Structure 1
Amino acid sequence: MTGRSVFFRPLRRHGHLALAALVLLGWSLSGEGVAGMLFVPIWVLATQLIVAGSLEASRLRRRAWLGQYLRDDSPWRRWLAGGVLMVLRHQFVGALLALVLLVDLRLLALAEWPLLLAALPVMVLARHRLRRRLSRHVVAEHLPAVTRRLLVMPISALLALAMVLAALWLPQPWLVGLVWEEAITRHLVVGEGGGLLGVFERLAESAELTRQWAMQNAVERFALATPLAVLGWLVLLLTQGAVAWAYVRLLVGAEALRREGRSLRRKPSGEPAPTADRETRP
């Protein structure tokens, strides 16, 4: 019984992260028909998860700014606290990040998925260690949010670096000597179905082929400092960085929503919600 509890306790505590990753994996590997049918619901879900984490970080910054510069009785507090406009801005950015993430996941090689799945335990362990260090310095009420905010950048950077190396290591179509239009025409094979998803897949695959074409021709001509090589590296870093950033943001948002749900369940009627999150173990 003890062995089973040891196994199921971490799964129960971090099952929401695994569920989010598995939903993305299952959708990205599904056929054109199923993926197209579920594209909008998955897009909405991914957007809301990303927005949950970004809104938490934005409100944390806003509260810190208001507490530092405004008096408690100032009417500006209500005006500057952030309302509909802030939510709409985060919804727009979250929708763009979710779109980039979902479309690129459809084009992602199966060999790259272990990198995304490995980000889950890395994030959990890093969060645990960071919380322990921050607990001596950060107010308990804001400790979980501060920890999540500080995790996004380093985890995203590590994941982006790993994905860049994987993209350079995986086999690519031979595009040396071809003009750009010919390379696109010959090798654009995904997203042949109709619908919104097919359009976005073709655009993403065209960007990936442009990156491969630019980098291969620059290397072949030993002109690594030319605008062609710069274009290839720029597309590579932007696409992989955006995917890593959106993916980590999504996981952080899932964690923020889970904690908010736990706080609501623990809150007795007529009493304030608990200020500290007791989740201190990985």
Structure 2
Amino acid sequence: MLYGIEQIADKRGYSIITCSTNESIEKEAKILDFLCSGAVDGVIISTVAGETQLADHIGHFRELLQKQIPLVMFDRVTEKIECDKVVVDDFEAGYKATKHFLATGCRDLAIVNPIANSPIGNLRIDGFKKALEENGLVFDEEMVVPIGAEDDMELILSVSLDFQKLNGILVFDEITTVKVMDILRTKGYSIPNDISIIGFTNGELSKYVTPSVTMISQHGRHIGEKSASKLIDRIEAKVHEDDFETKTIKTSLVVRGSTLPLGYHKC
């Protein structure tokens, strides 16, 4: 995503400042306060604020707009702020991943969710549910395991899930996907023969672990390019002031070695 932003910014004569929140809403608030000081011409952000946190947090975004600093939100967005947005079709992504599990014979599925406070996680779960319903399967809320940044993942997964009854796990980010695979291997499970894995993001890491990971690609570079282009158009007043746009990016399933072949029925 960052590469796409850099490419467009450089091409159009802009420099970028990168700020990391480390999933901290307090840090995000401090960064937004700094950016409101006039240090930048515009802001692109994927907010860490969940729906329950927005009431106290939304004023930071409004202050940006009041100071006429253009804002583009991507991926994690809120409908409570009127601005340009670039989002992923997360419902479709959850649906697509689950359909692939089912097409490979995997029907006993779980979700590991490290973004439990984010609306995008809920959309992915809704897509998961839809695919199950279409195949006559019942969604079990207990098969969705939220993971916090400070949590002992191995302990939580061991307590929450009966691995012997599972044959597929959907994981909502790349780093957590690799960690889940490592936990399964240490417990003696073979991937994908015992348990198939599908993750999200499709960065470099997922290509080089063993087995390489079947991933939902969110086309991060394209998101970055669209976000940067829209922001710079705003800065240069190339679009009408109130003509806000939400661009939805479709996902792709990149099939690799962590899932069984299509039509496989051992699971």
Superposed pair shares fold, TM > 0.5: no
- The normalised TM-score by structure 1 is 0.24
Bigger relative CO (Cα 8 Å, ≥ 6 apart) = 1
- The normalised TM-score by structure 2 is 0.25
**Greater per-residue strand proportion:** 2
Max radius of gyration: which structure? 1
**Greater per-residue helix proportion:** 1
